[in-house]
Amino acid sequence: MNSEIANMIAKRLVIAVITLLIVSFAVFFATSMLPGDTATILLGQSATPEAVAGLRQAMHLDDPAILRFLRWGGGFITGDLGKSYANDMPITTLIGGRFVNTMELAGITALISIPFALTLGITSAVMRGSVYDRIVTVLTIGVISVPEFMVASTAVLLFAVYLKWLPAISFVNEVHSLSDLLRMYAMPVVTLTFVVSAQIIRMTRAAVIETLSTPYVEMALLKGASRSRIVLRHALPNALGPIVNALALSLSYLIGGVIIIETIFNYPGIAKLMVDAVATRDLPLIQTCAVIFCAGYLILITIADIIAIISNPRLR
Amino acid sequence: MTQSAPSTSAGFYGYSFSLVGVLAFAVILFWAVVALFAPHFAPYPVGKIVDMDYFGPMSAKLWLGSDYLGRDMLSRIIYGARYTLGIALAGVLIASSCGVILGMAAAVIGGWFDAALSRFMDAMISIPSKLFGLVVVAAVGSSLPSLILTLAFIYTPGSYRFARALAVNVNTMDFITVARIRGENTLYLAVSEILPNIIRPVLADFGIRFVFIVLLLSGLSFLGLGVQPPLADWGALVHENIQGLSFGSAAVIAPSIAIASLTISVNLLIDNLPRKIRDRSA
């Protein structure tokens, strides 16, 4: 039995690696095969043809695309990410501190929203059809249906403009005290928590409802098990796989949300870096940021799949 | 599927529609009419500066106040409806038709074609849509045609996966086997045997995908990477007036509400479609 689990996990890891390869291939080709010659962009319209040709030579732009992809991929693995076009700094330096900032923002959000959303999702599924469930459902559909920037601007209007509890623009460079720290993170974290929680609640609720309608839950009900025992002993262990999957999928909304929220609150993370890079068409920087985000997302999905495999009672 | 009790329902061609569904449909129809006849509704020309003050308040003359240059906000939202609805509709039409055609082809042809295409589409789905949008916009820019194609490209894999799952189910039915034995070709199988059996859930999926595209388009425009000035969709209107947020100007709130009214209505309409239309087993 255990070798079966190991096999499934190994297979899942191989799929993850293949997917990452396809994705980075797609990112690389989308950004380097399409119109606009990089050398011309860098040197401007008035550059001499000789200068353009020289730069093309120096940047290996005339090599076949597959060779450039391999060189880029190789650099990625060895930690040499190349240089930014816009300011000629090594990308590793540009990303370093900002990566930590983004991970902090995402981490704090996950710490708050996962327990909060799981509780709401599971309780609303158990109390399905009640007034509480309806309120939760309407609120989540409301948050899911509107763009993230609307959630953010509503939060700013409410907390900063009308209630005046928090500053509208989040980032203060000097952090003097704990309250400064709280104020800096409060607004982005609150907004992101709303966006991510709505997704988790919706998916968790669906997963638990599906489990609660299975024959073995009905059997437990007929045996006369108490409501809490049915939910905690019979339904939840089986719903764990789908719930973890729902969590991982919802975290892709965390990525989408981070892009908007870092921009609106001027938060110095990699998402803001990437949006700025898109505005200046700084291709190496865009490629790197995109691959970091995709890899992060794939890692989360793979971990979720592995937890689902391990936690499946039928495989034990 | 939740078994919701129909509240107030009206009969129509043998289907019954709930009140919420009818209201949602009315809102969508309203925005469609506004987008089609924008020049007839807009009180002022879209680029004309009509207010001496910027971020002017709501008044009898300017119903939704003025924007950061003193242009009439109501007119800008009415014209913005054209870009938001038009681009999203064009994008979702391309995405859904590509997805359905490829999905049916994969189901009917099967074998390595199906395996390779599905593997590729699954990899594409694993790129978060907003990130994908940023990468493609960086590469091809944000002219209107390239925006439409970008949005279509990003949402084709999801539509493919949905259509393929439905088509694979239909493909195992007896009438398909009979048609195969009759010697019908792939095209006939897809268009005449499978398509009529999956079209209703595909249309519901079309609506959901329309919402995704509106949200992504607004998000890109909000980042300043979508529709470019002097044109402006609703997302771009929020982007250009974002300074007005700190004093609660209608120039920021009104376009946001326009987006929300559209996306929530489409979601509600689909949730309240009669089960006959919405369900896979229809």
Q: Residues A174-201: pLDDT tens digits? A: 555 666 666 677 888 888 898 889 988 9
In a domain, B92, yes or no: yes
Q: Residues B14-36: pLDDT tens digits? A: 566 688 888 999 999 999 999 99
In a domain, B60, yes or no: yes
Look over chain B and give the mean of its residue pLDDT values, rounded to a whole number. 85
Nearest CA in chain A to B271: A141
Distance in angstroms (rounded) separating the CA atoms of residues B69 and A293: 37
The alpha-carbon gap from A127 to the nearest alpha carbon of chain B, in Å, equals 14
Distance in angstroms (rounded) separating the CA atoms of residues A255 and B258: 25
In a domain, B9, yes or no: no
Please list every residue in chain A whose beta carbon sits closer than 8 Å to the beta carbon of residue B235: 147, 149
Which among B137, B140, B223 has the least Cβ separation from residue A35? B140
Q: Is A294 an 8 Å CB contact of chain B?
A: yes
From B260, B122, B204, select the one nearest A19 (Cα to Cα): B122
In a domain, B143, yes or no: yes
Please list every residue in chain A whose beta carbon sits closer than 8 Å to the beta carbon of residue B120: 22
Which among A146, A160, A286 has the least Cβ separation from residue B260? A146
Q: What are phi and psi of A64, to 5 degrees?
A: -60, 150
Mean predicted confidence (pLDDT) in B88-104: 95
Q: In which element (H, E) is residue B16 found?
A: strand B15-18
Please list every residue in chain A whose beta carbon sits closer than 8 Å to the beta carbon of residue B258: none
Task: Please tell me the least confidently modeled range out of A111-115, A156-160, A203-207, B96-100.
Answer: A156-160
Please list every residue in chain B whose beta carbon sits closer than 8 Å to the beta carbon of residue A157: 245, 248, 253
Top pLDDT among B92 and A237 is at B92
Distance in angstroms (rounded) separating the CA atoms of residues A260 and A266: 10
In a domain, B132, yes or no: yes
DSSP string, A16-69: HHHHHHHHHHHHHHHHHSSSS-HHHHHH-TT--HHHHHHHHHHTTTTS-HHHHH
Q: What are phi and psi of B17, to 5 degrees?
A: -110, 140
Please state, for a pLDDT cut of 90, what percent of chain A lies above it: 4
In a domain, B23, yes or no: no
Please list every residue in chain B whose beta carbon sits closer than 8 Å to the beta carbon of residue A151: none
Whole-number pLDDT of residue B258: 93
From A125, A115, A90, select the one nearest A247 (Cα to Cα): A115
Contact: A157, B137; criterion CB under 8 Å = no
Whole-number pLDDT of residue B117: 92
Number of alpha carbons in the 13 Å side-chain half-sphere of residue B210:
22
Which among B119, B129, B135 has the least Cβ separation from residue A256? B129
Q: What are phi and psi of B49, to 5 degrees?
A: -85, 115
Q: Is the pLDDT of residue B190 over 90?
A: no
Domain that holds residue B87: 45-76+83-267
pLDDT band at residue B280 using 50, 70 and 90 as cut-offs: very low
ipTM of predicted assembly, 2 dp? 0.80
Q: How many domains does chain B have?
A: 1
Whole-number pLDDT of residue A96: 81
Tokens 């990625």 locate to A76
pTM here is 0.84
Contact: A252, B128; criterion CB under 8 Å = yes
In a domain, B29, yes or no: no
pLDDT band at residue B4 using 50, 70 and 90 as cut-offs: very low
Q: Is the pLDDT of residue B215 over 70?
A: yes
Whole-number pLDDT of residue A88: 73
Distance in angstroms (rounded) separating the CA atoms of residues A193 and A254: 9
From A255, A287, A237, A247, select the one nearest A83 (Cα to Cα): A287
Whole-number pLDDT of residue A312: 72
Q: Is A64 exposed, middle or buried (0-12, 13-18, 19+ CB in 10 A)?
A: exposed
Amino acid, res. A145? S
From A194, A204, A189, select the one nearest A106 (Cα to Cα): A189
Q: Residues B128-187: pLDDT tens digits? A: 888 888 888 887 878 899 899 999 999 999 999 999 999 988 888 888 889 989 888 888
Q: Is A168 an 8 Å CB contact of chain B?
A: yes
Amino acid, res. A172? V
Q: In which element (H, E) is residue A123 found?
A: helix A91-126
Whether A305 contacts A245, CB under 8 Å: yes
List the CATH number of the domain containing B153. Answer: 1.10.3720.10
Which among B123, B128, B140 has the least Cβ separation from residue A22? B123
Please list every residue in chain A whose beta carbon sits closer than 8 Å to the beta carbon of residue B139: 30-32, 34-35, 283
Nearest CA in chain A to B261: A146
In a domain, B242, yes or no: yes
Which among B127, B131, B222 has the least Cβ separation from residue A147? B222
Nearest CA in chain B to A161: B246
Whether B261 contacts A298, CB under 8 Å: no
